[in-house]
Chains A and B, each alone.
Chain A
Amino acid sequence: MAAIESALLQTGRLDTLARQDTAVHRIDPRAKVITTACFVLLVVSFDKYTVAAMIPFLVYPLALLTVGRVPPGFVLTRLALVSPFAVVIGVFNPLIDHEPMVRLGPVVITGGWLSFASILLRFLLTLSAALLLIATTGFNRVCLALERFRVPPVFVVQLLLLYRYLFVLAREAARVLRAYRLRAIRSRGVSLRVYGSLVGSLLLRTLDRGQRVYTAMGCRGFNGILHPSIPLRFRTVDAAFVFGWCAFFIVARLYPLPQHLGHAVLEFLS
């Protein structure tokens, strides 16, 4: 529980990381948004049993991570926090789908396990790409890029508020949890009965605060349109970033190199 609390309190880390100055951070937010979108679309387009062919796609998040100086632990803990959802989505596949797909000597891997692994990998790839986009760009500038792509302002502002809102929610949650733990010294978790009222009070506090935050924004003349503090500039480097990566993704999608390699290895083994 203390771990959840500290993870919640670290929500601001994303903004702190986004303020670094590296080659990745300097790329125009629009370029990073297009590239990430292309990445996500291609990863999602693989068929449900694909595992090996997705592996080259790991290069992109790893590159952002390294060049953008984002600590791997930061990304991994966020992924771990959300991974239960992916597990819940995929966990029944092995029980349902018994079709043998791959034989590794005596070991038979069924379609169910393959598709489960595929879901997990897809989840890992898309989520880490999205997380790294924000960590190397800043959420405000991602929203700004969306606005420049003619995404309706109403939608962009909703997104911006949602982000700010999640941050507020996380802090309120951490506060409520701490207050609870101080009074429930002996119990190790939150009992279901208490859980209900905790969530209820949390929701009310958050709604209240969200309302006040929005009022305060209105008081400083916010009318739904974002204004960048640093003007956007699309340079040659940014174009090169987009074309380089997208070309790589498309090639990796159309010519699943590891699959050929993998087949060769499997043939050799059997």
Chain B
Amino acid sequence: MSHHLVEARDLYYAYPDGTAALRGVSFRFTHGESVGVVGANGAGKSTLLLHLNGCLSPGRGAVRIGDVQVTRKTLPDVRRTVGMVFQDPDDQLFMPSVREEVAFGPLNAGLAPEEVEDRVSKALETVDASHLADRPPFRLSGGEKRAVAIASVLSLEPDVLVMDEPTANLDPHARRKTIDLLRSFHHTRVIATHDLDLVLDVCTRALVLHHGQVAADGSPADVFRDEALLAACHLEKPLRMQACPVCGTGD
């Protein structure tokens, strides 16, 4: 049985105020795949991500993780399998210290204290934040908060990592560190972002959303070469794929 599979079939979702955010989204991500979900503001990226671990349930259609359909009954299982990193770390961090923050998930899962401790130090080490263990999370810099938010999900040892705009509001150095970190993972990764350069760096596949529908799905290099598509979806070619106006090189 593989938990690493993520499948959506014909998802429809409308917010209570009537906004139709998803209008028939289907895909199938397989083991170890790293998928960039791109699209303009309001395209439905965050809404889609919230369906992947059951924070929202679709009006129509279904989500499967491995061979488990996401329903109210399978929620605890699904949430252990799918780790979710939210866009704003402030929404995620609320314990009085980084160590307790990272231990929160494993403790909820009922693990023994020694096991919890192990996982906490391992997760903090992975994101290079061991030195922050005793600091209060709300006093950290943006990049540090992001790292801790990721660690707090890694400590649950999920098979699938879902992240909403992991590089939003980061300075270039923190952004680069986050990208390197994302590249180092072997999880199935679903990353919503505007940062198409990040997609080129980290992802093996790009899913373009536009007005709640899939506008394109393919390898990042192919998808981003289609200028008409990008323009229609209010996106811009990754800087790296644009001709350089200063030195005059590029394609």
Contact = CB atoms under 8 A, between A and B. Distances in A.
Interface of A: 12, 15-16, 18-19, 138-140, 164, 209, 212-213, 215-223, 225, 227, 229, 231
A227 B96 contact: no
A227 B55 contact: no
Contacts of B76: 221, 223
Contacts of A18: 96
Nearest to A223: B108
Nearest to B134: A19
Contact of A227 (B53, B107, B156): B107
Contacts, number: 69
B108 A16 contact: no
Given A12-B138, A212-B86, A212-B88, A219 B79 contact: yes
B92 A221 contact: no
A209 B96 contact: no
Given A219-B84, A222-B104, A164 B136 contact: no
8 contacts: A219-B84, A220-B79, A220-B105, A221-B80, A223-B108, A227-B107, A229-B103, A231-B113
Interface string B69-113: 000000010011001101010111011110110011101111001
Interface string B108-142: 11100100100000000000000000101011000
Given A12-B138, A18-B96, A229-B99, A220 B108 contact: yes
Given A19-B96, A19-B97, A215-B55, 16 more contacts: A12-B136, A12-B138, A16-B136, A138-B96, A139-B96, A209-B90, A212-B88, A216-B92, A218-B55, A219-B79, A221-B79, A221-B80, A221-B105, A222-B104, A229-B99, A229-B107
A55 to B, nearest CB: 34
B96 A216 contact: no
A10 to B, nearest CB: 11
A172 B97 CA distance: 21
Contacts of A219: 53, 55, 79, 83-84
B152 interface: yes
B91 A209 contact: yes
B156 A221 contact: yes
A18 B103 CA distance: 18
B22 interface: no
A164 B84 CA distance: 21
A14 to B, nearest CB: 9
Contacts of B80: 221
> Which of B55, B103, B116 has most chain A Cβ within 10 Å?
B55
Given A12-B136, A222-B108, A217 B88 contact: no
Given A19-B96, A140-B96, A215-B55, A221 B91 contact: no
A215 B104 CA distance: 14
B153 interface: yes
A227 B103 CA distance: 10
Contacts of A213: 91-92, 94
B16 to A, nearest CB: 12
> Which of A138, A217, A223 has most chain B Cβ within 10 Å?
A217
A213 B88 CA distance: 10
A22 to B, nearest CB: 16
B228 to A, nearest CB: 36
A16 B152 CA distance: 20
Contacts of A138: 96
Contacts of A139: 96
B78 to A, nearest CB: 10
A212 B139 CA distance: 20
Contact of B136 (A15, A212, A216): A15
A19 B107 CA distance: 20
A231 B24 CA distance: 49
> Which of B96, B99, B105 has most chain A Cβ within 10 Å?
B96
Nearest to B95: A140
Interface string B149-160: 000110010000
Contacts of B83: 219
B215 to A, nearest CB: 27
B63 to A, nearest CB: 15
Contacts of B107: 227, 229
Nearest to A212: B91
A18 B96 CA distance: 9
A217 B139 CA distance: 20
A229 B139 CA distance: 21
A18 B92 CA distance: 21
* Top 3 closest pairs, chain A to chain B, by CB: A221-B108, A227-B107, A220-B105
A224 to B, nearest CB: 10
